[in-house]
Structure 1
């Protein structure tokens, strides 16, 4: 029986695991540096292939947000290369002894970080994920099988080709990085059910993709999440600070998961400052969808619907609601949030503490933009995604989140009696 593309590439990735286990940190870093250099050397070909995806996306009428995520440029390639170089400067977590104990019988037990194994990555229209995921996997001794969307096919194939070509000149096996080129949905199903070949699946994309993977995968899933992120402007918020944070969180790059989607404003603060803030946002091209109280101040804006409070717009759209208290803000976030990133703007330390303890999210901010929820910004180098679940990993997943652990027991002839 002929093997499928998925099975063939998963087997090739698994064959690389033992080789990766014997590679020293200096060799991994040299390989990542080689990949970073190759990205810049091959930028003309990569951007030419990316152009094919952009042309197809434009013809298909895909959204502005997806086009932004799909687009590569020399600047973005340079950022991807720098992300790999940042990984080189970070310590390799593999082999770190987390705990050490000696039992009364003389057994010495070590709890040691080890790679996850073979990672299956399923993602949408984000060619940067190809490089970030491969870099994180290689630094931590994992192999990876990538399955991107058809909208980024040419970009992903070009990037994977550059990565594998660079690895061929190093001590790391090119087989450690695989791209599934079969774009049929059956390939995704096969990847999600490749127990014994794939150790963990990581989905990255919209809510629909993530839920399909979570519900259908028989391989364990490290769930990343969408970002319906909230900013709460408290009654004690500094007006200038609030303006800067809100504008940054919404407009800096609206098509990413850590951009703010809903603004909650305390009624007392709103009475003096909300109209001016909304006018500032409109000058940045933001469409305001407000509650009834917001519309009393700005009658020309659209009335927010129940669906708006649950929507990750990924665009220059912001839902605005006036609340009577911090408790009401927390209740709204609990009902509509996605456990990604939430922020409070206030000069009241007690309110900030209540917000931190009252919000269930991977990242919670006081007087700062949600745009910082990012592996690079946290000092992790590249990231493989933002986990909004609570098991194994939460928040930006960097090198340590790409590992598990193993107990290593050293004896001198002990037997159990």
Structure 2
């Protein structure tokens, strides 16, 4: 007897759950043909992975009293094909989003919006998460906007991204959304301690003026400044921001070792990151830019891959054109001794490099031969007749005269031959 009672109770409870779990929708109007029933005229969404299909019922024959039989069909599974009518019946004052995958609390239809109802940023965000920004009265994808960005649009773009982003504010130029601690609007920043600029916000909001100028003693005013106005505390990040925002973009993307200027080094000037391997080796040009007081490069003997910047007066041999040029540029006033002697013992003011391969097709002169090789006996301090090399003997004036006369004679013969022909 007890078992029968238990079974009856279970059956009744299941029936009650079945009845209670059904949520019929409210009446609405569907569009269809004369004679159609609600189940025929009203569009039914597709539910994948749910307990059952959705369906429509109706109490009349004019399609004005249609309602969803059981709105709980939307509670489980993936939904596609939702319509405004279905959302209204099940959710009241709501509309189907543009994807037909959810009912949203838009101020008007997402798919059949009346022409006299303007889009709002909120409606763009919930109706079409892929185009959540509002530009000139239309919903747009965040990636399509390159100017005129606002904080509201950036917040909408961040909230609809996957995963959600933190670039909630538009930079001062309105060209990008950035991760600032507050608005980048200069009119709303820097006047009080509460809206003070920070170093990170200057960099994010105003790349052309990424340096924080803190409040002076007794003041609460903060601002952002350009790299060119600052001579302390510069970093690679700040210099890169200044260089990339310049028009045209500058090459001074690194801070010198002292942090006092942005320079056109080939790599960072940070000593801890340079000179340990061949890949990050110092060059004379980088030494000059990064550490003007030690503008020459010296390569280590052990291991051979190390390098460092040294003062010019510490070099007594092994001079190179690159080191000579750096030392000449770093001197005050600058000098013209920009080439290394042939034996690398000093820097000289030659017209061209003393190195034959570097000199190329440039002719030798007595002055360059003497500068590059010295003036000692047999030091090859004189240029050859054709200027192709240096030699230890000077060309005599008579030889030069004869050579010149011979050249004139040959020229005259060529002219006469041409006239006779």
Asked if Structure 1 and Structure 2 have the same fold, meaning a TM-score greater than 0.5 normalized by the shorter chain, the answer is no
Q: Which has the larger radius of gyration?
A: 2
Q: TM-score range by the shorter chain?
A: under 0.3
Q: Which has the higher strand share?
A: 1
TM-score (norm 2): 0.20
TM-score by length of 1: 0.20
Greater relative CO (CA pairs within 8 A, separation 6+): 1
